[in-house]
């Protein structure tokens, strides 16, 4: 260990070890109730904690363009009590539970973690709020104010807080992804009515539009039986079908420049990419990791460390069901001209088109996906959440197959994907300049 270490020495052997080693899988059992509720349970190998996850297939994509932010406001209302249980949280506090929820473009997810012997309490409360929600005008008004403060805190009162609002508007013109989950403006939230609440609840919150997943060190049959017991009596619903306008490909490069009171100029370049289950999605994920996954990745090494143009850089994909975006972005050092920085980002993209990614670099990225899959499934909450998510994708088995999909990419295919994706005429560029 005192001698100089040659970077690749001794590492090639792991190419093979990695591929043999992983057979870690989430095991699960699946059952659909007569009312259409899909149930997935995972028996965890030990552990005191259980997770109960309820996913509703509704997000900001389903919103009326005049009432953006509504799906997220509605998520807040789901904690405001029902006819039978006026206070949602108290029964959970009594059984050492914690719960929360989030909304994104595509779905709304509610989760509870609690000691495994108390799983029934979570099921009782989730089943109760699937049908009995009781929203008075007072509750609605109070919750609107909370959500407007969330809007202020996270988007309006923060430096760079409106970056994604601007980028969505630039990259999408017709698809509902053109607004953020929080909504286009606080006015849309303030305009929500009791009638809106009732209609939304009826249309989207029913068993056929929901997925229940449970992860716990409990018997599989017991978990399935409990699901039947708590949800079996809920009347059947219909999974709503909303036909969304599909976004045409960007035909001509789009560009927006804004000036804001921020400490450093930022650049963001976005490209349309494929749907969540398309091969193009995985390619985008790998390419973004080659550029910016970990501190050994290309963009940091080249643009921050060597060329010293940026103080920070990143590349990532948005995880959307419908065609999402591939993004490269960075904060400029004060002396770097915008044109130079922009060109430098393009240099990295062109390199992916001109040269095949080397074996070692590709292997590194694939290895990272495998390791992250293991690290990402260490607790019951992540397992329950993952099962719900993949079931929503319509291909539950994918939860155990993705590593293999990442493994299947060759350098040639990635180059082809880069050639097809990083086209100047298909790009949307946001220049966010400091004043």
Partner 1 sequence: MIPRGVELPEVETVVLANGLPVHLIRTAGQEVARVSLVWAAGSAVQTAAGLKPFTASATLNLLAEGSTSGLSSHEIAERLDFVGSYFDVSIDRDYAVATFCSLEKFFAPTLEMIGEIVLRPAFPDDEVALYARKRMERLAMERAKPATRAREMFSAALFGDGHPYGISSPESDYMSLGRADVARFYERYYGAAGCFAVCSLGDDSAQREALLALLAEMPCGGTAAGSGGFPEPKSAARRVEQVEGAVQSAIRVGRLLFPREHPDFVGMQVVATILGGYFGSRLTQNLREQRGYTYGVMAAMVNLREAGYLAIASEVAAEATGDAIEQIFVEMERLRVEPMPEDELENVRRSMVGEVMRILDGPFGIVDVVIENIQISGGRGGSREGEGSARDYINRFIAEVESISPERVMELARRYLGCEGFTTVVVGRE
Strands across the sheet containing 266-272 = 254-260, 428-434, 266-272, 325-332, 310-317
Q: Looking at 31-39, 93-101, 229-237, 272-280, which segment touches partner 1 (CB under 8 A)?
A: 93-101
Cβ-based nearer residue to partner 1, 241 or 378:
378
**Which residues is 213 bridged to in the sheet?**
40, 53
* 143/165 Cα distance (integer angstroms): 22
Read off the DSSP letter of residue 82. B
Interface with partner 1, residue 301, by CB under 8 A: yes
Q: Between 353 and 367, whose beta carbon lies closer to partner 1?
A: 367
Minimum CB separation of residue 295 from partner 1 in Å reads 4
Q: Does 2 bind partner 1 (CB under 8 A)?
A: yes
Binding residues for partner 1, how many (CB under 8 A)?
76
Binding mask 170-209 for partner 1 (x = CB under 8 A): ----------------------------------------
Cβ atoms of residues 314 and 292 within 8 Å: yes
Q: 414 vs 175, 271, 322, 343, CA distance in Å?
A: 27, 16, 21, 22
Residues 3-42 that bind partner 1 (CB under 8 A): 3-5, 7, 10-11, 14, 17, 21, 24
Q: How far is the CB of 264 from partner 1 (least distance, A)?
A: 6
Alpha helices in 209-337 (DSSP H): 220-231, 279-292, 298-299
Nearer to partner 1 by Cβ, of 36 and 115: the residue is 115
**Span interacting with partner 1, options 122-130, 299-307, 406-414, 421-429, rule CB under 8 A:** 299-307
Residue 249 near partner 1 by CB under 8 A: no
How near is the Cβ of 242 to partner 1 at its closest, in Å?
Answer: 29
**Does the footprint of partner 1 cover residue 376 (CB under 8 A)?**
no
Q: Give the E-state strand segments of 97-233 in sequence order.
A: 98-103, 108-115, 210-216
Interaction of residue 304 with partner 1, rule CB under 8 A: yes
Residues 403-422 binding partner 1 (CB under 8 A) are: none
With tokens 């209302």, the residue in question is 77
User: Is residue 142 within the footprint of partner 1 (CB under 8 A)?
Assistant: yes
- The least distance separating partner 1 from the CB of residue 69, rounded to whole angstroms, comes to 14
Contacts of 288 (CB under 8 A, 6+ apart): 315, 316, 317, 326, 327
Question: CA separation (Å) from 376 to 108, 302, 317, 386?
Answer: 20, 29, 18, 9
Q: Under DSSP, is residue 329 helix (H, G, I), strand (E, B) or coil?
A: strand
By CB under 8 A, is residue 131 in contact with partner 1?
no
Q: How many residues does the chain have?
A: 435
Task: Pull the structure tokens for residue 74.
Answer: 């509605």
- Does position 335 interact with partner 1 (CB under 8 A)? The reply is no
For residues 154 and 279, which CB has a smaller minimum distance to partner 1 in the complex? 154
Element (H, E) at 59: none
Interface region with partner 1, contact rule CB under 8 A, candidates 62-70, 129-137, 151-159, 339-347: 151-159
Candidate residues 36, 115, 191, 240; the one interacting with partner 1 per rule CB under 8 A: 115
- Cα four-point dihedral sign 138, 143, 144, 148: positive
Is there binding between residue 291 and partner 1 (CB under 8 A)? no
Q: Are strands 29-32 and 38-43 parallel, antiparallel or unpaired?
A: antiparallel
Compute the least distance from the CB of residue 156 to partner 1, in Å. Answer: 5
Q: C-beta of 340: minimal distance to partner 1 in Å?
A: 17
* Token output for 6: 């040659």
Q: Does residue number 435 form part of the binding site for partner 1 (CB under 8 A)?
A: no
């Amino acid at each position: 260990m005192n001698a100089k270490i040659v970077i690749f020495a001794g590492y090639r052997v792991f190419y093979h070890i990695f591929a043999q080693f992983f057979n870690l899988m989430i095991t699960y059992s699946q059952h659909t109730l007569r009312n259409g509720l899909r149930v997935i349970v995972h028996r965890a190998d030990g552990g005191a904690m259980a997770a109960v996850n309820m996913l509703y297939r509704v997000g900001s994509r389903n919103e009326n363009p005049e009432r953006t932010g509504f799906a997220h406001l509605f998520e807040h209302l789901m904690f405001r009590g029902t006819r039978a249980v006026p206070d949602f949280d108290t029964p959970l506090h009594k059984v050492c539970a914690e719960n929360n929820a989030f909304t994104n473009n595509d779905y709304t997810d509610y989760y509870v973690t609690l000691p495994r012997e108390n799983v029934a309490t979570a099921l009782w409360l989730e089943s109760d709020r699937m049908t009995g929600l009781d929203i008075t005008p007072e509750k609605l008004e109070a919750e609107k104010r909370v959500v407007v403060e969330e809007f202020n805190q996270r988007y309006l009162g923060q430096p760079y807080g409106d970056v994604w609002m601007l980028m969505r508007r630039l990259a999408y013109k017709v698809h509902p992804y053109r607004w953020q989950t929080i909504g286009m403006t606080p006015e849309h939230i303030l305009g929500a009515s009791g009638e809106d609440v009732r209609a939304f609840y009826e249309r989207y919150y029913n068993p056929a539009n929901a997925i229940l997943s449970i992860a716990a060190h409990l018997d599989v049959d017991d978990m399935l039986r409990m699901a039947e017991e708590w949800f079996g009596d809920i009347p059947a619903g219909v999974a709503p079908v909303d036909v969304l306008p599909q976004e045409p490909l960007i035909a001509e490069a789009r560009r927006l420049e804004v000036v804001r009171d921020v400490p450093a100029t930022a650049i963001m370049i976005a490209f349309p990419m494929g749907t969540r289950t398309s091969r193009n999605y995985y390619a985008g994920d790998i390419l973004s990791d080659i550029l910016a996954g970990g501190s050994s990745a290309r963009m940091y090494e080249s643009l921050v460390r060597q060329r010293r143009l940026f103080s920070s850089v990143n590349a990532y994909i948005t995880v959307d069901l419908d065609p999402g975006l591939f993004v490269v972005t960075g904060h400029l050092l004060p002396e770097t001209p915008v044109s130079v920085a922009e060109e430098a980002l393009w240099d990295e993209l062109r390199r992916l088109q001109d040269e095949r990614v080397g074996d070692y670099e590709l292997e590194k990225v694939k290895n990272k996906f495998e390791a992250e899959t293991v690290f990402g499934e260490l607790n019951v909450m992540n397992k329950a959440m993952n099962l719900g998510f993949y079931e929503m994708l319509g291909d539950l088995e994918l939860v155990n197959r993705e590593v293999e999909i990442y493994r299947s990419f060759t350098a040639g295919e990635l180059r082809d994907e880069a050639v097809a994706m990083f086209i100047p005429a298909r790009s949307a560029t946001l220049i966010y300049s400091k004043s």
